[in-house]
């Protein structure tokens, strides 16, 4: 059941909370998806959300906890006692979700929650997952899976699978391992059903499968799953032992987080922030690039000041300063955005840097010719100065070529030296192209005015 979250709905729910009407409050949330309930909690005061949360059955409550935004969940967990978190919520979660939730806690509370988990095996899985970097395959994987030994017969295999399936909500693949727990392949249900009872698993499993190691970066995991259209991906350690599996829903979160991070960085925001964050945190995230923009503006002013005499002699050149700066910034952002997108999706292929620059040069050449011709025609008929007409048109052509090559080269260089290439799509590119565009414009003006006048 879907709901439209309105102020009236929230206000009615808050009235029920104030009246301590548990039945009516639960009825309003009946049949809602955990994601919808988590969205409702975002609109409530922390104590109101806590009151509603403790009314839910443990399984639904654990799903809602997983669906909450990380910052909201962190605040919410602060008001819940460790024994409640462990016994009522963590118990019903998959190991990867449980590790994410516990990972948000302070070190002291994290230890308390782990000590209150009755299932020692589950607690061990969570501790193992917490030891991995959250931006690696190990940090994304869950321990719940079905695995069978290659030396088992079909009858033994079915019996062991039934035992394992009792603890698992979703079964994607049946993984085949050897006596050392090394991943050998996958077993299809069709092959299992069609095989005779005395058939050994090693005779019917498929050894052709993709896997990643525990230290594989999360963005690379996402690329592999996208490339091979996988819904689940097994994770192995450095010697090939099966450690867990990553499902597509975890990878979607990675893709979304990476896209948000790149978009914010391209917009000149240096930290991962939300609209609900405090003004101080929002200011801190934006200020570094604004300072860079300010310094860039000072450099632009210095460039204009350096050519003050040229503007005094030819004041009409000042009219086209905004146009040159804007076009330089726009072209640079377009070029860098294409490269950054290709680097992020790993779709640039094996082309050399020279080949990428050559392709972008041809694109800039065509666009530059078209745009500078249009500007030439405009000035030719509306301007009295032929020198200005040639200066602005030729300058725009050269600026477009430079901005395109610069916008292509910078993200490639940043990627080579292991910096996030998304840095190149924000204020950095626009500021640098503004400065260089104006230098080109004034130098071209100095040369052409001397020649033509």
Listed residues 196, 222, 257: the one ending a domain: 257
Residue 251 domain flag: yes
Q: What is the mean pLDDT of the chain?
A: 86
Residue 178, pLDDT > 70, answer yes
pLDDT digits 0-9 by tens, 237-282: 999 999 999 999 888 888 887 777 766 666 666 666 666 667 887 7
User: Where does the pLDDT of residue 3 fall: very low under 50, low under 70, confident under 90, or very high at 90 and above?
Assistant: low
From CA 148, how far away is CA 439, in angstroms rounded?
A: 69
Residue 217 domain flag: yes
pLDDT digits 0-9 by tens, 359-406: 889 999 999 999 999 999 999 998 888 999 999 999 999 999 999 998
pLDDT computed for residue 337 by the predictor: 79
Residue 203 domain flag: yes
Same-domain pairing of 158 and 50: no
Listed residues 95, 119, 139: the one ending a domain: 139
Same-domain pairing of 15 and 106: yes
Same-domain pairing of 418 and 332: yes
Strands 174-177 and 183-187: antiparallel
Same-domain pairing of 298 and 252: no
In this prediction, residues 351-361 reach a mean pLDDT of 80
Same-domain pairing of 182 and 297: no
Residue 267 domain flag: no
Same-domain pairing of 105 and 160: no
Q: Count of domains in the chain?
A: 3
Same-domain pairing of 200 and 331: no
Residue 384 domain flag: yes
Same-domain pairing of 188 and 134: no
Same-domain pairing of 115 and 194: no
Same-domain pairing of 412 and 395: yes
User: Where does the pLDDT of residue 443 fall: very low under 50, low under 70, confident under 90, or very high at 90 and above?
Assistant: very high
List the CATH number of the domain containing 234.
Answer: 3.10.580.10
Write down the pTM of the prediction: 0.69
Domain of 336 in residue numbering reads as 279-452
Residue owning tokens 């049949």: 31
Residue 269 domain flag: no
What order do you get walking across the sheet with 212-213 strand by strand? Answer: 212-213, 232-236, 242-247
Listed residues 83, 106, 139: the one ending a domain: 139
Answer left, alpha or beta for residue 110, where phi above 0 means left and psi between -120 and 50 means alpha. alpha
List the CATH number of the domain containing 424.
Answer: 1.10.357.20
- 243: helix, strand or coil: strand
Same-domain pairing of 189 and 135: no
Residue 413 domain flag: yes
Query: What phi, psi does 397 have (nearest 5°)?
Result: -60, -45
Same-domain pairing of 321 and 380: yes
pLDDT computed for residue 127 by the predictor: 92
Residue 422, pLDDT > 90, answer no
DSSP state of 88: I
Residue 108 domain flag: yes
Q: In this structure, how many other beta carbons lie within 10 angstroms of the beta carbon of residue 100?
A: 23
């Amino acid at each position: 059941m879907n709901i439209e979250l309105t102020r009236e709905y929230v206000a009615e729910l808050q009235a029920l909370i104030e009246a301590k009407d548990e039945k009516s409050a639960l009825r309003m949330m009946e049949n809602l998806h955990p994601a919808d309930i988590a969205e409702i909690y975002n609109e409530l005061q922390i104590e109101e959300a806590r009151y509603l949360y403790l009314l839910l059955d443990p399984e639904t409550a654990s799903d809602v906890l997983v669906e909450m935004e990380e910052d909201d969940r962190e605040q919410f967990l602060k008001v819940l006692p460790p024994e409640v978190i462990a016994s009522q919520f963590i118990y019903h979660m998959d190991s990867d979700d449980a590790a994410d939730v516990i990972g948000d806690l302070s070190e002291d509370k994290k230890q308390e929650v782990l000590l209150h988990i009755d299932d020692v095996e589950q607690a061990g899985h969570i501790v193992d997952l917490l030891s991995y970097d959250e931006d690696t395959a190990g940090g994304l994987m869950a321990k719940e899976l079905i695995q069978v030994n290659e030396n088992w017969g079909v009858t033994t295999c079915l019996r062991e699978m039934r035992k394992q399936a009792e603890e698992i909500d979703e079964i994607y693949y049946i993984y085949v391992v050897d006596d050392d727990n090394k991943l050998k392949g996958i077993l299809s249900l069709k092959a299992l059903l069609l095989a005779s009872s005395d058939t050994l698993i090693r005779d019917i499993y498929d050894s052709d499968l993709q896997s990643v190691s525990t230290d594989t970066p999360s963005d690379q995991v996402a690329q592999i799953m996208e490339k091979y259209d996988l819904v689940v991906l097994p994770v192995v350690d450095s010697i090939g032992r099966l450690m867990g599996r990553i499902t597509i829903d975890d990878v979607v979160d990675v893709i979304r987080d990476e896209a948000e991070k790149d978009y914010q960085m391209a917009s000149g925001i240096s930290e991962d922030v939300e609209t609900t964050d405090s003004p101080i945190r929002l200011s801190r995230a934006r200020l570094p690039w604004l300072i860079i923009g300010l310094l860039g503006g000072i450099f632009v002013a210095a460039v204009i000041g350096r050519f003050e005499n040229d503007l005094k002699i030819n004041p009409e050149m000042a009219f086209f300063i905004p146009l040159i700066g804007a076009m330089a910034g726009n072209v640079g952002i377009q070029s860098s955005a294409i490269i950054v997108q290709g680097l992020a999706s790993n779709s640039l292929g094996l082309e050399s840097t020279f080949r990428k620059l050559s392709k972008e040069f041809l694109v800039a050449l065509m666009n530059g010719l078209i745009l500078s011709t249009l500007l030439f025609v405009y000035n030719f008929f509306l301007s009295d100065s032929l020198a200005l007409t040639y200066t602005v048109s030729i300058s725009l052509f050269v600026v477009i070529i430079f901005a395109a090559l610069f916008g292509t080269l910078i993200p490639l260089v940043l990627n080579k030296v292991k910096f996030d290439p998304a840095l190149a799509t924000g204020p950095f590119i626009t500021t640098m192209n503004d400065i260089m565009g104006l230098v080109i414009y004034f130098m071209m003006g100095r040369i052409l005015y001397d020649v033509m006048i």
